[in-house]
Amino acid sequence: MKKFLLLIISVAVLVGCTSQESTDHMEEIKKLMANNDYVLLDVRTKEEYQESHLKDAINIPHNQINKNIDLSKEKIIFVYCKSGNRSKTAYDTLTELGYTVYDLGAMESIDLPKE
């Protein structure tokens, strides 16, 4: 019973921390975006992008990101997708290619205007 109670308390603490971290993370992202020297990169499929996307985002599916990608290394790149899996893959690839990248994760959890 003690182990179960400890597990419940641990989960509650982690959920509380995650929510605050998410809010803090989004505030940091918005500060970085204030200088307008960034690219919002939607790495979902073309069809998903056409249904809805973040305002001013460009679409390059995650499986098309390679050394031939035509993005400025002078700009910060913010990547996102539907669940966070493809954006993580894109983040890893772009970081390896020398870009400054932030993974925003799942589109639905991003507090930015959508189209």
Which helix (H) or strand (E) element contains residue 23? helix 2-33
Under CATH, domain 22-109 is a member of which superfamily?
Rhodanese-like domain (3.40.250.10)
Whether residue 95 has pLDDT greater than 60: yes
Whether residue 1 has pLDDT greater than 70: no
pLDDT value at residue 7: 34
C-alpha closest to that of 106 among 36, 32, 24, 22: 22
Residue 79: both structure tokens together = 């990547």
Could you give the CA distance from residue 61 to residue 82 in angstroms, rounded to a whole number?
A: 12
